Amino acid sequence: MSEQQLNPRQQGIVAISAFATNGDLDKLTSALNAGLDGGLTVNEIKEVLVQLYAYVGFPRSLNAIHTLMGVLEDRQSKGITDEEGPKASPLPADMDKDDYGARVRARLAGRDGIPAPSGYQLFAPVIDAFLKQHLFADIFARDNLDYASRELATISALASMTGTAGQLRFHLGAAMNTGLTEAQLRDYVAVLRSEVGEQEASNAAAVLDEVVGGGQ
């Protein structure tokens, strides 16, 4: 596997996230099987599908989870034993989720410190609290899926929706800040093009060009 390519596990996350987002459950079934065959554990896939609810909503997330249940039952009936993988460790009872989430968001944005609130954070502070305390703390603090994998799931979902270029721009930058290279993100676009669709790939490629060209 070239260092410029996503590995089979990462490619699986891209395809699974895209089909969970667009609701194509037949293609999601195929992607889930390929992901399991490519090295994703059951709990890693569960984690991806749970995280996606924060971006695509409970209905799509739950539909995808039910699809995973069906895939696992089918594979078990064929004698296939899939690796369960570790579960997430419990979060500390005294965790300051607001501070933790703010620091995670700053890190994803490539900042050394937490910036002062601005824009929507001042206009609707409750959604900023939800983002920090739930998405970037409750979810991102779960340690059975690394940040790079979480960002791959996110950018695949965002590329599979319309009207989310601004969020995709942030998260493509975040993906690079978690260690994914430009070459690997070009490969993410290639996976979208070959496995998902030309529109999704074009959406991702256009925003990625802006990000790596300094247009963010």
Task: Please report which confidence band the pLDDT of residue 4 belongs to, taking 50, 70 and 90 as the band edges.
Answer: confident
Would the pLDDT of 21 be above 90?
yes
Would the pLDDT of 1 be above 60?
no
The pTM assigned to this predicted structure is 0.95
Query: Residue 3: what pLDDT?
Result: 64
Which ranges of the chain would DSSP assign to H, the alpha helix? 8-22, 25-37, 42-56, 58-77, 97-108, 120-123, 125-130, 147-159, 165-177, 182-191, 198-212
Tell me if 208 sits within 8 A of 185, measured CB to CB.
yes
Over the stretch 189-198, which tens digit does the pLDDT of each residue have?
Answer: 999 999 999 9
Over the stretch 139-158, which tens digit does the pLDDT of each residue have?
Answer: 999 999 999 999 999 999 99
Query: Residue 214: what pLDDT?
Result: 67
Would the pLDDT of 216 be above 60?
no
Domain ranges of the chain: 94-143
Residue % of the chain over a pLDDT of 70? 97
Mean pLDDT of 167-172: 98
Tell me which DSSP letter residue 3 carries. T
Over the stretch 124-141, which tens digit does the pLDDT of each residue have?
Answer: 999 999 999 999 999 999
More confident residue, 4 or 100: 100
Over the stretch 61-105, which tens digit does the pLDDT of each residue have?
Answer: 999 999 999 999 999 999 999 999 999 999 999 999 999 999 999
What is the C-alpha to C-alpha distance for residues 116 and 159, in angstroms, rounded to an integer? 29
Query: Residue 166: what pLDDT?
Result: 96
Q: Which residues contact 134 (CB under 8 A, 6 or more apart)?
A: 54, 97, 101
- The SS3 of residue 20 is helix
For residue 86, report the phi and psi dihedrals to the nearest 5 degrees.
-70, 150
Query: Residue 51: what pLDDT?
Result: 98
Would the pLDDT of 19 be above 80?
yes
